[in-house]
């Protein structure tokens, strides 16, 4: 059996904030995402995609931004907790494809590290994970450098139970 899920997340960027995407700290980036957690839009999109594909809700239901427990949380850890539920329901990752839209930071030099971080959490090989970065080219809030947006599409697999 196969299930497809998609996730989307966007965070406003602000000067002086840490910039973390896919669990990678972009220390040289002058802006970072604003959020209740660490604002890692890439991990948030992946979390929504895997939860949605497994029929287990979404990141907001599992980790509400009204709960002080999640204030400043590491989004890679949130993904790890969500994935434990997905894997516990018998799912494994077929593949994951992520696109990040932002003027900065530049993702290309860190694709392998991001894929490795996600693969470690999702219990799979980095080759099953695609990471792409693109710019807004001056258009929309991404192009004006106001936000970072991430899209994720996931394919989950499990053996069908025969009755």
Q: Which domain holds residue 124?
A: 2-157
The pTM (predicted TM-score) of the whole model is 0.94
**pLDDT at res. 133:** 96
**pLDDT at res. 118:** 98
> Looking at the domain assignment, is residue 101 inside a domain?
yes
Cβ-Cβ contacts under 8 Å for 151 (sequence gap 6 or more):
6, 7, 8, 45, 98, 99, 101
Question: Residue 82, Cβ neighbours under 10 Å: how many?
Answer: 25
**Residue 131 dihedral angles phi and psi, to the nearest 5°:** -125, 125
Q: Which of 39-43, 63-67, 105-109, 117-121 has the lowest mean pLDDT?
A: 63-67
**pLDDT at res. 163:** 59
Please check whether residue 51 is in contact with residue 82, taking contact to mean a CB–CB distance below 8 angstroms: yes
- Give me 112's structure tokens: 């392998």
> Looking at the domain assignment, is residue 123 inside a domain?
yes
> Looking at the domain assignment, is residue 162 inside a domain?
no
**pLDDT at res. 18:** 93
> Looking at the domain assignment, is residue 163 inside a domain?
no
Number of domains in the chain: 1
> Looking at the domain assignment, is residue 48 inside a domain?
yes
Residue with the bigger pLDDT between 53 and 35: it is 53
**pLDDT at res. 72:** 75
CATH number of the structural domain spanning residue 140: 3.30.1330.50
**pLDDT at res. 8:** 98
């Amino acid at each position: 059996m196969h299930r497809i899920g998609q996730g989307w997340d966007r965070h406003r960027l602000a000067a002086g904030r840490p910039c973390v995407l896919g669990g990678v700290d972009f220390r040289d980036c002058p802006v970072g995402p604003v959020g209740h957690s660490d604002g890692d839009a890439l991990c948030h999109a992946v979390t929504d995609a895997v939860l949605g594909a497994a029929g287990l809700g979404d990141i907001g239901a599992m980790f509400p931004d009204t709960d002080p427990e999640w204030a400043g949380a590491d989004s890679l850890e949130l993904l790890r907790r969500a994935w434990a539920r997905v894997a516990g329901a018998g799912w494994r990752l077929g593949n994951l494809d992520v696109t990040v839209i932002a003027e900065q930071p530049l993702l290309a030099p860190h694709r392998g590290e991001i894929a490795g971080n996600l693969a470690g959490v999702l219990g799979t090989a980095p080759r099953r994970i695609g990471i792409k970065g693109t710019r807004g080219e001056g258009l929309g809030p991404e192009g004006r450098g106001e936000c970072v947006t991430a899209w994720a599409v996931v394919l989950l697999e499990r053996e069908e139970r025969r009755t």
